[in-house]
Amino acid sequence: MTTAQATGHPGYQATTAGTVKAFRFRGVPVRLHFTFVLMVVFITVSVLGSAGFNSNYAAFLAGSLMSVLLHELGHAMVASRFGIRTTEIVMFPIGGLSRMERPLPPTAEIWVALAGPMVNLLLAASFFAYMVSSHQAVPVGVSDLLRPSGKSALALLLYGNILLAGFNLLPAFPMDGGRILRALLSYVRPEQEATRTAAWMGRMLAISMGLYGLLDSQFMLVFFALFIYLGAAQESVAALGRTLTRGIPIRAAMITELHTLEHGATIRDAANLLLSTSQQDFPVMHGNQVVGLLGRQLLIRAIAAEGPEAYVAGAMDRNYIELDPNEDLADVLPLMAQAGRCALVMENGLLLGLLTTDNLSEFLLLRRFGMEPVV
């Protein structure tokens, strides 16, 4: 349904929280969000148990999922033409989400956003051509898509793909049309203002859809409206963060007064440090070299599994994220989006500081009120 911007930083693991990996599709990992799994369970229970369920409708449901995947693959293929890799495709109840390894410039964003709906229109045109050549003419309504009706699977997929393309071309976040609108506006307005306009339209669309769903007892529309509203709000916040951090180095926001643990320290030592300080992530040192990172969750897990006398070396994370202090803070915002994330700021192999989601949030708050960073 949409594209999202990630980061190409080598330490970044491009996985969305709350998802499980399902399979790879043309080399791109496809992950299922837990809400998508819940929706599949709901449809299975409500639709498969209905008296009118038939093989045509089962084929339509399977074809719809494939149409969404092809939609997202369209985003990925066009993005690759601009030299931008797709790190994952995430399936949500309202569609798919293609995550790109780095931000898209306006021209690329327009073409990448258009690619998804164009795939659906091409699919619809193919189904229409086949139905005409085989002299099939089956009228379909919206109600036929929501419940088993005995209509032809091809006719349902034809109509469904047209609706999917039209819905995604609405000029509102988080649909593809909202990204096209934002990209067009960004030629004449600042990115934050362009995003705010597209996000506002997304929220208005969600509110209208939600009210209609409540008045007409279409609770699935209310469910979709909630996701659209949250997606629009999230994009607006992300754009504000990029605006507040663009051109500012990481060293301006990092924590420089920090505690470390020696390689031979025990879990008890780490627990005492956790209690006596406000710090929750501790670099593990061997001399002046960093060998790992012990976070609060790893610490608690080690206490429960191995006891307080175990060594931190056995519990620490050796695949920690390392950032350069001169790197642009805006480029690592997606990297730090997950709650509790911590990165080590290092230069020439030496530890300079920590960057955590907590201190980054405080930095953004101060920046929003006009406080200039000290570099």
Q: Is 12 exposed, middle or buried (0-12, 13-18, 19+ CB in 10 A)?
A: middle
What does the pLDDT profile of the chain (375 residues) look like in tens digits? 655 554 444 444 446 667 777 788 777 888 888 877 887 777 777 666 655 556 777 788 788 888 988 998 899 899 988 888 888 888 877 777 787 777 788 899 999 999 999 999 999 999 888 888 887 766 666 555 656 666 778 888 888 899 889 988 988 887 899 889 989 998 888 877 888 888 888 888 889 988 988 888 777 778 778 878 887 787 777 777 777 788 889 988 899 999 999 989 999 999 999 999 989 999 999 988 999 999 999 999 999 998 989 999 999 998 888 899 998 888 787 777 665 688 999 998 899 999 988 888 888 888 877 766 656
pLDDT at 184: 92
Check: CB of residue 312 under 8 Å from CB of residue 267: yes
pLDDT at 217: 79
Alpha helices in 169-263 (DSSP H): 176-185, 191-215, 219-245
Check: CB of residue 249 under 8 Å from CB of residue 324: no
State how far the Cα of 115 lies from the Cα of 137, in Å rounded to an integer: 28
Phi, psi of 99 (to 5 degrees): -100, 125
State how far the Cα of 41 lies from the Cα of 22, in Å rounded to an integer: 16
Residue 131, CA atoms < 13 Å, CB-side half-sphere = 18
Cα torsion angle, 150, 167, 123, 93, sign: negative
Other Cβ atoms within 10 Å of 275 Cβ, number: 7
pLDDT at 243: 77
pLDDT at 12: 46
pLDDT at 31: 85
- Token pair 């990481």 is at which residue? 250
pLDDT at 180: 92
State how far the Cα of 345 lies from the Cα of 256, in Å rounded to an integer: 9
State how far the Cα of 328 lies from the Cα of 243, in Å rounded to an integer: 12
How is residue 252 annotated by DSSP? G
- Token pair 């339209």 is at which residue? 201
pLDDT at 284: 94
Tokens of 83: 């030299």
Cα torsion angle, 66, 72, 75, 80, sign: negative
State how far the Cα of 339 lies from the Cα of 53, in Å rounded to an integer: 43
State how far the Cα of 91 lies from the Cα of 96, in Å rounded to an integer: 4
Check: CB of residue 100 under 8 Å from CB of residue 8: no
Tokens of 323: 């950032």
CA distances (Å), 209 to each of 45, 205, 212, 224, in order? 25, 6, 5, 8
pTM: 0.71
